[in-house]
Amino acid sequence: MAEEARTRTLEEIRNERIQKGIILTERGIPLYPATTSRTHDIAEVLEGFDTRVETHESVTVAARVLAIREHGGSVFIDLFDGSGSIQGYLKVDEIGDDLFSLFIKTVDRGDFIELTGTCFATKRGQPSLLGTAWLMLTKSLSPIPTEHFGIKDEDERFRRRYLDILVNREIADRVRRRSIFWNTARQFLLSRGFVEVETPVLETMPGGAEARPFSTHHNALDMEVHLRISAGELWQKKLMVAGIPKTFEIGRIFRNEGMSKEHLQDYTQLEFYEAYSDYRKGKEMIRELYLELAEKAFGKTTFTVHGHTFDLNDEWVDYDFSEIVKETYGLDPRETTPLEVEEALKKAGIPYDSPATLERGVDLLWKKCRTQLSGPGYLVNVPVYLEPLAKKSDVDPRVVERFQVILAGSEVGKGFSELNDPRDQEERFARQEELRAQGDDEAQFADKDFVEALEYGMPPTFGFGVSERLFSFLEGVPVREGQLFPLLKPKN
């Protein structure tokens, strides 16, 4: 906490600030006025600063007080309004003894004030505002941490994220980069003729991914519903059936699964679908998207993550899933059996739930392989049984037309030629239902309504999805740190 809290209790500080507020109230000065007479934000003042110095223009800023330094009959104030910082300077002979004395008696670090004055530069060239009047805008009752001390405990940082952002400019910059990241993705697709859509968050049949959903009871309709586990994958494919050939959604999705540096239960995801395209055509588009995201949000294309260094501007290579697994473990995932997979897991020392299913076992084998791949690249030739929503390859029907973006040993984005054969889709769903019956609660639900929609005809379509994991990767932080307000357990 702030240095003042090191010698006095927070309750003592709070009571003292309440008394200061009483002084202002007794003077008829509101502590929390609804309006301000601000004429410029600080960034605007700084932008035309030299001209304002020459013309002696009077400006009014509204900002938080981050520091107060008294020097006899004068006081220096560090002011910050979110757009920028400027130094305020109060002198008794300029502002008058009454206002000066009232400021000293009642204003604390953390308060929001309105300061009116003229621009000048100090001998060291620091942009400053010579105050002629001030008003209280918000009286703070609790002390904010200093930048030096900050909030060291991670749980407390997340619990009081507003303070973490306030005193840590890097976190504040991350908030802005996150906005640029998602708006860059949005503009990338809008400029190519995609239509932004919103699809249901509450579903009777959670589909579009292999994940455990959050479930609840819908009282008005008296039925079980689930929070979606994808950003409208099956709904957007229905829009392909409906004749809207390019759609996308950037929205929140929810998966009732474990937490890690790369996984959260609620997060933002982009999914888009383009009719009359396929995963081969989509590859270059995704490379262009990732490059634009990196350049506009981060100003660079080379990153170091988890000990891997990669440049998104390099040529993207293909990583053959089936061949890599075959070379590593001596079994071909396109033709193997659950028993062979279980033996490979044992030999590799990979923990698994016995008995291992073909799907989960091969996936565990692959996850160990991928940690060695730096990227950028595309993971291709994944066995059919690992992807119930992608078309079988026209070259090798044992694999699907799917790619996943590989960066720093992880998968950050997935696209494929969408399966549009209703009978094939029905058979794949049936296999997923078998897995669920065997206890795999991450297997997909069989969505009969989606199969029915396919029977009316869906054109050849390329689909792609990427979550905010990509942002956290490029930011170089765990995905939880990349969020503004991650979920926390309440304090007891």
pLDDT, mean of each 10-residue run, the chain (492 residues): 60 96 96 96 96 95 96 94 96 94 97 97 94 97 77 82 91 96 98 97 84 91 93 94 98 89 90 97 97 98 94 97 96 95 95 89 94 95 93 95 96 96 92 84 84 96 96 94 90 78
Cβ pair 135, 107 in contact under 8 A: no
Domain boundaries, the chain: 4-149, 165-316+375-482
Two tokens, residue 419: 């399966």
Interatomic CA distance for residues 138 and 5, integer angstroms:
20
Instruction: Please count the helices (runs of H) and the strands (runs of E) in the chain.
Output: 18, 20
Two tokens, residue 76: 């220096």
Two tokens, residue 389: 């929503």
List helix spans (H) across 143-278: 154-159, 161-167, 169-190, 233-241
For the chain, how big is the Rg over CA atoms in Å?
29
* Chain Cα centroid distance, residue 24: 42
Two tokens, residue 351: 């923990």
Positive or negative torsion for Cα 202, 207, 213, 218 = positive
Two tokens, residue 118: 């003229």
Interatomic CA distance for residues 131 and 86, integer angstroms:
12
Query: For the domain 4-149, what is the CATH code?
Result: 2.40.50.140
What is the pLDDT at residue 7? 62
Q: Which residues are CB-contacts of 139 (< 8 A; sequence separation ≥ 6)? A: 17, 20, 21, 24, 31, 32, 106, 108, 111
What is the pLDDT at residue 1? 42
Q: Is the peptide bond before 355 cis (omega within 30 degrees of 0)?
A: yes
**Residues pairing with 411 in the sheet:** 406
What is the pLDDT at residue 154? 79
φ/ψ of 260, rounded to 5, equals: -155, -175
Cβ pair 102, 113 in contact under 8 A: no
What is the pLDDT at residue 304? 95
Cβ pair 233, 284 in contact under 8 A: no
Cβ pair 121, 52 in contact under 8 A: no
What is the pLDDT at residue 63? 98
List helix spans (H) across 203-250: 233-241
List helix spans (H) across 412-478: 422-437, 448-455, 469-475
**CATH level 3 topology of 165-316+375-482:** BirA Bifunctional Protein; domain 2 (3.30.930)
CB atoms within 10 A of CB 372: 10
- Encode 128-156: b = buried (16+ Cβ within 10 Å), e = exposed: bbbbbebbbbebbbebbbbeeeebeeeee
